[in-house]
Structure 1
Amino acid sequence: MESESLEEYSVNQISSSNEPARDLNTSLDTDECSYQYPDLFTGKTLLELCNSSWSRSQKAQDDIQPYLRGCKWSPDGTCCLSVVNNDGMHVTELPRDLYSGCPTPNRTIDILESAVHMKEAGLVYDFCWYPGMNSGIPETCCWLTTIQNSPIQMWDAFDGSLRCTYRGFNAVDEMEPALSLTFSQEGSRIIAGYKKVIRTFDVDRPGRDFAEHKVTSPASCFATNSNLLAVGSWNTTINLYNVNEMGTYKSIGKMHGHAGGVTHMKFTPDGIRLVSGARKDHRFLVWDIRYYRRPLNVLTRAINTNQRIYFDISPCGKYLVTGGTDGVLKVWDVDRVDWKNSLDPSEDDGDNVTYKFPLHNDCCNSVSVHPLRPILATGSGQYHFKDPLVALEDESIQLNGTLDNINNGTLDNINNGTDISDNDLRYSREAENSVVFWWIGDILQDNT
């Protein structure tokens, strides 16, 4: 990783122009952000800037598939952290020429190499950056992961070394892996969700010292805003808590509305609304936490998998961005579609999305809006099952030793276009496992 933060570079390189530099320590509100944060999706087109992809080794088994499972920009915007199934964690840096200015349409697409690659021994359940991360202060450059059969681990973002672990033990003194985790907003505590409890660790005290709060259902994901904590669960509910400085949880209420287990949530920058998504649930719910009894708005996206599909809200609070299993990027612009408030009952129940961008040929499972620049990171990939017809064909070939013995019309049906891989990406042999950076702002026209 580069030692100089994007914020410091922006102050040195951008302040001389009319474009204002943004301070990460300044609180984000809608009025202030309207002139500090650049306008997004102004050209209604996306320009590909960089990409990085992964492919399976020829000697690997069919169940070893290196598909992307999430990507998140660092809080200072200098790098992007990605989780790749069966290939651990990858840190890719933003090219220096994108720290300022606008790219031209004929800009060469960069093929990114991982600045840090850290192998994992098991399935990564969840991960998050330290909220005060700044590349100019090396001790703040770290992230957390919770891994199958492992404690919570803190990793150094410069060399990928393990800094420390936070271990949660149950009543019979068995170490449990956390299902989800997040930092408190100020970064002094780690909040980890387990099957029956929420445990709070002090960042300065690694080990097995923690406070514990019992819950009735597994905590699958978190969203924090000031002293508010939203806890999503696999039983389709969302619980709201007020957390004081001592780490004590006071229940505010429970929210119902999803048809599947809640997998991802995020507060809007004003802290009043909460957006949530669930697995195998096409509904995308917007809540007003002041009146949490029912959803404020219901949006739609294509979700046909149990996989966690990340979405993001721009720092200015104007744009809601999400992917889906159909590979399409959806964008809601609050100035054109009032996604923050309830829909007009007189309107049709159709899709009210502002923009649609068919970016990937595979599942678009994660999106992350850059904290400073008009750049969007998207990740693609999912687990691809073997086509049952092809599996039956292969099994018959192995049993009979020849294709002639199974020529009962199955192959004719496949050749005639009835192969379900054309309709379901999960059975497709064309896997796209990549993370891509897109320019979503104004594009500088090249007159040469």
Structure 2
Amino acid sequence: MKMGELSIEMDQVDVGEFNNPSEATANNVENGENAIASEELIHQYPSLFTSKTLIELSNSSWSRSRRANEDVQPYLRGCKWSPDGTCCLSVVNNDGVHVTELSRDLYTGYVAPNRIIDVMDSVIHVKECGLIYDFCWFPLMNSSVPESCCWLTTRQNAPVQMWDAYDGSLRCSYRGFDAVDQMEPALSVIFSNDGSQIIAGYKKTIRTFDVERPGREFVEHKIKAPAACIDTCNDLLAVGSWNTTISLYSVNTPGNYKSIGVMHGHGGGVTQVKFTPDGRYLVSGARKDNRLLLWDIRYYRRPLNILPRVVETNQRVYFDISPCGKYLVSGGTDGVLKVWDEDQVHWRSALEVTEHMGDTATYKFPLHKDCCNSISIHPLRPILATGSGQYHLRRPMTSPEPKTNNQDSILPIIKKESSSDESIATKQSNKRKIEERESPDLEMEYKEDSENSLVFWWIGEVPDLT
């Protein structure tokens, strides 16, 4: 894999040889000022959703093979942009990890409404067996530095593994062992902000590994509830658990976690926690909970705000916060993308108890006809990555069969009982017994609204839009 370097091209000035030293000094000063101004332009994050229109840029989809098992359903379970914005890492159920590159024409400039949609193909595909619990990029990843191009995964019955983003090879692994010296998989994993440490959450512990020392060396901290999801910002660590609580820790030294407090408010197991870029607020979501809770880490006793979304299953539905901290976006099991713009809806403000709580989203975009479970905002460009899909249960397909002697003996009995005064519950019970005796053939069938795709959207300004 040859990954491109995402950067804003700058015109190089040929200084040449100056006869007058003062002229050279003045030119250097001017070039330095221009460089500083260019750096400010590079780090200035663009405005999002200004045109109130989303343009589909690229699309990639997955479908079940004909020879695959009936229970195999390849739907998206998460996607994350790389820190340098050159590619997107996505996890597909029963199909491992995929790396998809961003088209080079999207590195700079704007997008026209009539742009041709790209059909994406994975440049790297790691076929991992087992359920992948969590994944993350190296925070200092840069395509021009091959050593920094890697990601972490933690999956069922396996240690934390580091993968190379150039060829998809396994670099190393970090193994956590319990009190009886048995290796156990991590439920969640994340890098520290400087990338020197790996923080992995387990059922009863939080283990910190040194990135440069793979193996079984770690620092351990005991916890009371499983660490289903984690996030870190500066010296703070937030841990969401299956028991609906969120624990907040202060990290002074690696492995030394000082408990700050526990936050309560969700109705289901917490599936994601994420700090705002300034580190003052924390957003959390849970399974089968139609709410995003916003917390002020200085006053964590109660939620600061409640943002409605649709999550009607146990599936993890991701949300994301823009690097500028103004926009909060979330998917839902109804396939609708919801956006909260701080300039129009003060979603980071305190909650008014007497206020009637309705749908406070600034924008709503029906992007997918299936569950929109994955959301990731590009770190530099106004581009959004979304993933769709969910597990669809099997539906019984009744095939016509000739009547047997057992069915003939049942029908007169049912007819006789129906003529008597029996309750509705008894009739329904007899009907279920007849359906069970028929033993219909069970066949895996996708619903008509099933969709398993990874899509890139343009969410910036569209100059030629009329």
TM-score scaled by structure 1? 0.87
**Alpha-carbon separation, structure 2, partners of 1:153 and 1:99:** 30
User: What does residue 138 of structure 1 align with?
Assistant: 146
| C-alpha distance after superposition, 1:119-155 (max 9, x if no partner) | 0011100000000000000000000000100111000
8 Å contact 1:369–1:375 — kept in the other structure? yes
Contact in 2 for aligned 1:22/1:372 (Cα 8 Å) = no
Q: Alignment partner of 1:219: what SS?
A: coil
Alignment CA distance shift 1:200-1:270 (3 Å): same
| Maintained 8 Å contact 1:189/1:200 | yes
Find the aligned partners of 2:37 and 2:149 in 1 and give their Cα distance: 27
Alignment partner, residue 349 of structure 1: 357
Question: Relative to structure 1, is the Cα distance of residues 427 and 116 closer, same or farther in structure 2, using a 3 angstrom cutoff?
Answer: closer
- Secondary structure class of the residue paired with 2:228: strand
Distance 1:141 1:298 in 2: 37
Q: Distance in 1 between matches of 2:99 and 2:244?
A: 32
CA contact (8 A) 1:14 1:20 kept: no
Structure 2 counterpart of 1:230:
238
Is the contact between residue 219 and residue 254 of structure 2 (CA under 8 Å) also seen in structure 1? no
Whether the 8 Å contact between 1:299 and 1:351 is mirrored in structure 2 is yes
* Deviation for aligned residue 1:368: 0.3
Q: How far does the alpha carbon of each residue in 1:21-80 deviate from its partner, in whole angstroms, 9 at most, with x for none? A: 5699xxxxxxxx7xx110100000100000100000122222100000000000000000
Map of 2:27 onto structure 1: none
Tell me, yes or no, if the aligned pair for 1:221 and 1:265 is still in contact at 8 Å.
yes
- Hey, what's the Cα distance between the residues in 2 that align with 1:42 and 1:373? 14
**CA offset at residue 11 of structure 1?**
4.1
The answer on whether the counterparts of 2:5 and 2:143 sit within 8 Å (CA) in structure 1 is yes
When residues 294 and 97 of structure 1 are mapped into structure 2, their CA distance, relative to the original with a 3 A threshold, is: same
Give 2:463's aligned residue: 444
Residue number in structure 1 paired with 2:121 = 113
Q: Does 1:245 align with 2:245?
A: no
Distance 1:436-1:399 versus aligned 2 partners, 3 A rule? farther
What SS is found at the alignment partner of 2:8? Answer: helix
Q: Separation in 2 of the partners of 1:20 and 1:399?
A: 79
1:39 to 2:47 alignment: yes
- How far residue 320 of structure 1 moved from its aligned partner, in angstroms, is 0.2
Who is 2:417 aligned against? none
Instruction: Verify: 1:124 aligned to 2:124, yes or no.
Output: no
2: CA distance, partners of 1:248 / 1:215: 12
2:434 counterpart residue number: none
Greater shift in the superposed pair: 341-350 or 272-281? 341-350
RMSD across aligned positions (CA): 2.7
**Shift of residue 398, structure 1, vs aligned partner:** 6.9
SS where residue 55 of structure 1 aligns? coil
**1:201-280 paired onto structure 2 within 5 Å:** 201-280=209-288
Partner in structure 2 of residue 86 of structure 1: 94
Paired letter, 2:85: G
Shift of 1:345: 4.1
Quote the residue 1:5 is aligned against.
5
Structure 2, gaps ≥5 residues long: 14-33, 415-427, 429-444
Q: Is the radius of gyration larger for structure 1 or structure 2?
A: 2
> Contact (CA 8 Å) 2:221, 2:255: kept in 1 or not?
no
Equivalent position of 2:67 in the other structure:
59
* 1:3 Cα deviation from its structure 2 partner: 4.0
Partner AA of 1:196 in structure 2: K
Q: 1:216, 1:21 → 2: CA distance?
A: 46
Residues 63, 19 of structure 1: CA spacing in aligned structure 2 closer, same or farther, 3 A cutoff? farther
Alignment of 1:313-332 (within 5 A): 313-332=321-340
Aligned to 2:435: none
Which residue is 1:147 aligned to?
155
Matched letter for residue 89 of structure 1: V
Contact 1:181 1:192 in 2 (8 A): yes
Using the alignment, how far apart are the partners of 1:254 and 1:229 within structure 2? 12
Using a 3 Å threshold, how does the CA distance of structure 1 residues 296 and 72 change in structure 2: closer, same or farther?
A: same
Helix, strand or coil: the match of 1:244? strand
Q: Matched residue pairs, number?
A: 412
Find the residue that maps to 2:147 and give its secondary structure.
helix
Shift of the 159–398 alpha-carbon distance from structure 1 to 2, 3 Å rule, reads farther
**Following TM superposition, by how much is the alpha carbon of 1:428 offset from its aligned partner in structure 2, in angstroms?**
2.7
Aligned to 1:363: 371
Output aligned runs, 1:7-26, within 5 Å.
Answer: 9-12=7-10
Distance 2:229 2:265 in 1: 16
Compared with structure 1, are the counterparts of its residues 360 and 245 closer, same or farther at alpha carbon in structure 2 (3 Å cutoff)? same
Counterpart residue number, 2:23: none
Contact 2:208-2:254 at 8 Å conserved across structures: no
1:204-243 Cα deviation digits (max 9, x unpaired):
0000000101111100000100010000000000000011
Other-structure match for 1:286: 294
Alpha-carbon distance in 2 for matches of 1:358, 1:21: 36
Inter-partner Cα distance in structure 1 for 2:224 and 2:12: 51
Q: Secondary structure at the match of 1:139?
A: helix
Cα separation, 2, equivalents of 1:114 and 1:11: 27
Q: Whole-Å Cα distance in 2 between the matches of residues 141 and 348 of structure 1? A: 48
Query: Contact conserved, 1:105 with 1:444, CA < 8 A, in 2?
Result: no
* Structure 2 residue corresponding to 1:173, chosen from 171, 181, 186: 181
Residue 433 of structure 1: aligned partner: 452
Counterpart of 2:112 (choices 78, 81, 104) is: 104
Instruction: Supply the distance in 1 between the matched residues of 2:355 and 2:55 (Cα, whole angstroms).
Output: 33
User: Hey, what does 1:197 align to over in structure 2?
Assistant: 205
Name which of structure 1's ranges 437-446 and 106-115 shifts more when overlaid on structure 2: 437-446
| Residue ranges of structure 1 left out of the alignment (5+ in a row) | 25-32, 411-425
